[in-house]
Amino acid sequence: MRKPFLLKFLLAAVLLLGNTAFASDSDVEEGKDKKTEIKEFIEHHLQDSHYFNLYGTTDEHGKVHHVGIPLPVILWDNGLKVFSSSKFHHGEEVAEVDGNYYKLYHSKIYKTDAEGTITYDEEHHPTNVRPLDFSITKSVVMMLVTGLLLLWLFSSLAKSYAKNNSVPTGAGRFFEPIVLYIRDDIAIANIGEKKYKRYMPFLLTVFFFIWFLNMFGLTPLGVNVTGNIAVTTALAVIVFLITNFTGTKDYWKHIFDPLGDGMPWYGKIIIYIILVPIEILGLFIKPFALLIRLYANMTAGHVVLMSLVGLIFIFKSWVGGPLSFGLSFAISLIEVLVALLQAYIFTMLAALYFGFASEEHDHDHEHEEEAELAHL
């Protein structure tokens, strides 16, 4: 029963994507071929948006009609400017607010004139002034939805545990093994039984937050939150701050005094010139690896999947179409696994960094061993 449902769901997603993304053959007559159109749509999908687009239809004249929800635009331009993104009409019109004019250009808002003039530099980059943008974009909406979903889900699970004497019921039977795995095989294994509890709230939150966002990204809603480098950077910065603000004396001593007390200071100078900068550089390389791994893997998955879907509209044959559909279906199943795997890797590495920061050497025990050796 599940396989036909999955096939129908993917077929619906493909048709929805086709109606939304790829216009009629009139675009080809205007000089834009299908390959260029597909490439532009993939690039547009990877960007954030001020409009939550659900789907689109193309009329007989080749004009695309979007169906979705306009989101609030919040700008700071010599004062607070709040208005609906519907004023931009998907970037086709200039929005006028309190005598100021703003234009949506490549998912970014620029200050312009009534005609919507965009000026460029020698490298064809816009030179118009960009006001500070605090808008509620599509990615922000999905993060809020995911956060509320997590809050509702786990608060409900906590209440069910209290009512049933800590016995999981309903969805708790599915989520309890995952929570226990994160506690036993990620937190305790990498941090230790003494200090793992202080990090558990963050580890559980970041795991389910990334996992749920990745799964939302596989739906026809076209949400690519974890493929946004700003989001992955924010998550990596949080890990960086927690790691370094909870670091013990032994952690910082290992960074600035990696050789310990076993070597005279004059013998350490040359080695420290090399080791200490490497250790300091490692403080920033670790969170950078976190953000770039999650961003690159999720972005690559979206690009591959949408490129395969786009091949259906390029081939337009009974051979190429089913082949592209089959590959898209296979990649979709792999992406379901990747969505979970990337959440696991991020959580595992974060726990590993926390374990490095919270480690403490038993100095009293070491001194006792040294005293026994000296006595012998």
CA 149 to chain CA mean position, Å = 17
Distance, in Å, from the CA atom of 163 to the CA atom of 134, rounded to the nearest integer, reads 42
Closest CA to 106 of 47, 52, 23: 47
User: CA-CA distance, 58 to 313, in Å (whole number)?
Assistant: 14
Bridge partners (DSSP) listed for residue 95: 102
Cβ 142 vs Cβ 225: under 8 Å: yes
**Other C-beta atoms lying within 10 Å of the C-beta of residue 61:** 7
Whole-structure pTM value:
0.81
Render pLDDT for 159-168 as a digit per residue (tens, 0 to 9).
888 888 878 7
Q: How many residues does the chain have?
A: 376
Contacts of 331 (CB under 8 A, 6+ apart): 301, 304, 305, 308
**Nearest CA-CA partner of 203 in 339, 348, 358, 342:** 348
Tell me what percent of the residues of the chain surpass a pLDDT of 90: 35
Q: Which residue did the predictor score with more confidence, 357 or 370?
A: 357
From 322, 185, 145, 333, select the one nearest 177 (Cα to Cα): 185
**Encoded tokens for 131:** 């006001």
Region for 252 from its dihedrals, namely left if φ exceeds 0, alpha if ψ lies in -120 to 50, beta otherwise: alpha
The yes-or-no verdict on residue 71 having pLDDT over 60 is yes
> pLDDT of 243-297, one tens digit each?
999 988 888 888 887 766 666 666 667 677 778 888 889 899 999 999 999 999 9
What is the per-residue pLDDT across 173-186, written as a single tens digit (0 to 9) for each? 889 899 999 999 99
Amino acid (one-letter) located at 271: I
Sign of CA dihedral 315, 317, 321, 322: negative
- HSE (side-chain half, CA atoms, 13 Å) at 182: 24
